[in-house]
Amino acid sequence: MESSNVIEGDIAEIPAKQRRPNPLSLQQYAINASTRDEAITMAFASGGYTRRQLGDFFGLHYSRISRIVAKGKTWPL
């Protein structure tokens, strides 16, 4: 019993970024989404990509990615 508490305690101390599953590739987000903006919003929400990485992939400046992500937070996905 006590060893399971230790394991749970150890897991709780691992940062969320390290516990998060690996994201899909950006190509997969682009294929799965119905629009470019939706793909960007989903990829950013996965936590696996920075605005700069998304901008490089989609050919946009990272500030434009920020606007798309902000707008996407108000859309129901």
pLDDT in tens, 30-49: 999 999 999 999 999 999 99
CB 65 within 8 A of CB 40: yes
Angle between helices 36-45 and 62-72 (to 10 degrees): 90
User: What pTM value is reported for the model?
Assistant: 0.73
Tens of pLDDT, residues 11-37: 677 777 677 788 999 999 999 999 999
